A and B are shown apart, each in its own frame.
Chain A
Amino acid sequence: MIENMKSVLTRVEGEGNIVIYEKEGHVDSVKYEVIEAPRFFEFFVRGKSPDKVVDIVSRICGICGTSYNFVASTAFERCFGVNVDPEIMAVKEAQHLAERVKSHILHVFHLNLPDLVNTKSVVEFIPRNPQLSKRALEVLVWSRRAMEVLGGRMHNVVNIKIGGVHRVPEKSEVEKVAKDLGTVMKSFIEFASFVLSLKAPDEFMQKTSVKPHLVALYPSTLEYPHHSDKVCMDGNVYSLSEFYGNIVKYLHVPHSTAIHCRVKGTESYVVGPIARFNQFYNRLSKEVRDFIETYGWKAPLSNVLQSFVARIAETYETLLMLEKFFDTYRTRPAPSTAIPEKGEFTCEYAVEAPRGILYHKYVVRDGKVVMGDIIAPTTQNVAAMDDIATTVLRGKKVDAGVVDMARKIAVSFDPCLSCSVHALPVKIIRV
């Protein structure tokens, strides 16, 4: 095991396995193996011009690709000293917000719900409750339309660039989705009410106190965390470079193509909905908090299996943010931006992707990226996943229930659709 790596890069998502290490019939430890073949983005962003990198990195994750081009473009803007008009920035942000809606709904409906209602898949759930499914799909389809209008398509949007956006859509185009927001809000509330009234299966969790650190971006405004250059861990605020340069250590473990991140090399931490929700509950709109509390939920959520509550709250909050955006929307010409041809720049920034903090750092020399460092949310969560699952399940007799719980823990982290894998194949290894 190598510790304290400098310039360590990560990748996420894709295929994974749950590995249960067993001792005399009882769980010794649990590890989540990411076996997805790596794609080496950090390698091939090198030598490319920063504007091309903005498009390329969105392919790191199909579900939250907008987070990638959002954070990359903003990192470059900041280090090149590009001033982005707040209204243009808002168009860029809105694409990211619409993506958050999409991602959360996909997770809660397609991936998490089957666990909450004990079906094998959403495919089974749909005929059981077609009405409610319709509501969820309405929100999903609306988020797609919003992303299409603002960014061109539901995945890998094409309307984000260094300096803001390529084109500010016409008011009439935006109106087409804005006018349906009211209906979608209703569908969402109906769906959310159902989900919030479900009980998280937390019998294991209650008995143990697993306390990984909670880490979210520290918002510069009074809003709920969105994007920032500061990190907040358990209430303490750090700069991005301090946190990712010194506090976090990176480990490349044999069982995973993803790099593991640990605070000081040993302690795990959690990013994502639950970290945001528990630390910044008060920054949610009152409307949202009231709604959540009607169903008996509020911060802090006691374990990760309850993270769907945070997702529902965030979706609600995000829809409200979009509503505000639509209300004052107007079109304007998009600016053109020149990328400096000479000089060396170190560019870093972070955004709250649906699954947690996404941190990018680039070094640009004479108009070309020479180094790219990308730390994705799942990378930061896998160590916590291992730790939580191990603590919760250690000593239990290896049976279907154990495997199921290991699966549920993974799913509730939503480690990115493809590797969250509702059906992580299980391997049991005797030690």
Chain B
Amino acid sequence: MYKVGVVKLTSCSGCICEIAYAFAFDDILSNYNITYATILADVEEMGDVDVALIEGSVSSKHHEELVKAARAKAKFVVAVGTCAVLGGIQSLREGSDINTVKKAVYPNPEYIDVYDVPKPVADVINVDFALPGCPINGDALALFLRKYALGGLPVAFYESVCAACKRKGLECVVVSKGIPCLGPVTNAGCGALCPSFGRGCYGCYGLKYFDLNKEKLETFTNRLIELGMGRDDAVALLKGYGFKSYSTIVKGEKR
């Protein structure tokens, strides 16, 4: 039996539900035991675990401590979901003054204590495996758990949403309909959901940070504009769910 801890940071909890779904399979229940998950069990502190699933982005000192403690207690740490892997949708606030942001939402901004920009988990601790997705695909998590239980890991494929789109026999919505789509620059993993509903991908698995640089992002932005988007909308769409990768690419920091 592997012990699993689920740590929740800033997120919508969609990934937590996908985790709950992955734990609906017999073979997973027979190999894993969730010993810590504030949503699922009355346990207030995480003990030693084999696998820590960390969901959400790091938004405060408190989170930072949680994450470090998890690292210390877990043999294997998985960043689960686009929030944990890349910062997630809440990073859309990056670039705006945090006080302006607070004031826009709260009458008493001084009550609110958060980082200017949320951090991906890997900015705070070493992460052993990353599963992006907003939310992650519970089946992909199940696959990971099955392979981990065998001592291995899923083979990592670094590809665009287009790979799944073509393998599903879908027709490219950009080429055949002129619909703006982030598929070409977005991490695969969703199984090309949006194109299969005839719409453009909006990038919820995060930008393909490993393959892009500033110039390429710029050409891609121009392509979106060519397809009828305003520049602001195009940039906002690209920032969307993987802002962390967007900003590092734009700043040319790392690849």
Q: Given the known inter-chain contacts A63-B14, A155-B14, A158-B199, please indicate yes or no for A40 contacting B104, CB distance below 8 A.
A: yes
Residues of B within 8 A of A39 (CB): 10, 89-90
| A166, B181: Cα distance in complex, Å | 14
The reply to whether A257 and B112 form a contact with Cβ atoms under 8 Å apart is yes
Q: Given the known inter-chain contacts A40-B93, A123-B40, please indicate yes or no for A152 contacting B13, CB distance below 8 A.
A: no
Mark the stretch among A2-10, A194-202, A211-219, A230-238 that contacts chain B: A2-10
B8-46: contact bitstring with A at CB < 8 Å (1 yes, 0 no)?
111111111110110010000100011000111111100
Distance in Å: Cβ of B86 to nearest Cβ of chain A = 13
The reply to whether B16 and A62 form a contact with Cβ atoms under 8 Å apart is yes
Kindly identify which residue among A46, A156, A416 contacts B135, using a CB–CB cutoff of 8 Å: A156
Q: Tell me whether B60 is interfacial, beta carbon within 8 Å.
A: yes
Kindly identify which residue among A37, A167, A254, A259 contacts B60, using a CB–CB cutoff of 8 Å: A37
Mark the stretch among B123-131, B190-198, B247-255 that contacts chain A: B190-198
The reply to whether A121 and B105 form a contact with Cβ atoms under 8 Å apart is no
Residues of B within 8 A of A177 (CB): none
| A42, B190: Cα distance in complex, Å | 27
Q: Tell me whether B220 is interfacial, beta carbon within 8 Å.
A: no
| A60, B8: Cα distance in complex, Å | 15
| A167, B194: Cα distance in complex, Å | 10
| A259, B106: Cα distance in complex, Å | 8
The reply to whether A42 and B104 form a contact with Cβ atoms under 8 Å apart is yes
The reply to whether A59 and B190 form a contact with Cβ atoms under 8 Å apart is no
Residues of B within 8 A of A421 (CB): 38-39
Interface size on B, residues (CB 8 A): 63
Kindly identify which residue among B16, B21, B59 contacts A140, using a CB–CB cutoff of 8 Å: B21
| A156, B240: Cα distance in complex, Å | 14
Distance in Å: Cβ of B231 to nearest Cβ of chain A = 12
Q: Given the known inter-chain contacts A126-B29, A167-B197, please indicate yes or no for A62 contacting B13, CB distance below 8 A.
A: yes
Q: In the complex, which residue of chain B has the Cβ closest to the Cβ of A13?
A: B13
Q: Given the known inter-chain contacts A42-B105, A62-B14, A120-B42, please indicate yes or no for A158 contacting B24, CB distance below 8 A.
A: no
Q: Tell me whether B227 is interfacial, beta carbon within 8 Å.
A: no
The reply to whether B193 and A158 form a contact with Cβ atoms under 8 Å apart is yes
A91-118: contact bitstring with B at CB < 8 Å (1 yes, 0 no)?
0000000000010001000110010000
* B residues whose Cβ falls under 8 Å from a Cβ of A: 8-18, 20-21, 24, 29, 33-34, 38-44, 59-60, 62-63, 88-90, 92-93, 96, 101-102, 104-108, 111-112, 114, 118, 134-135, 137-138, 190, 193-194, 196-199, 202, 204, 230, 232-233, 236-237
Give the top 8 A-B pairs by smallest Cβ distance, nearest first. A62-B14, A121-B41, A37-B59, A62-B12, A155-B14, A418-B13, A39-B90, A44-B92
Q: A106-B17, A159-B197 are in contact. List 4 more A-B contacts (CB 8 A).
A: A8-B107, A40-B90, A55-B202, A252-B111
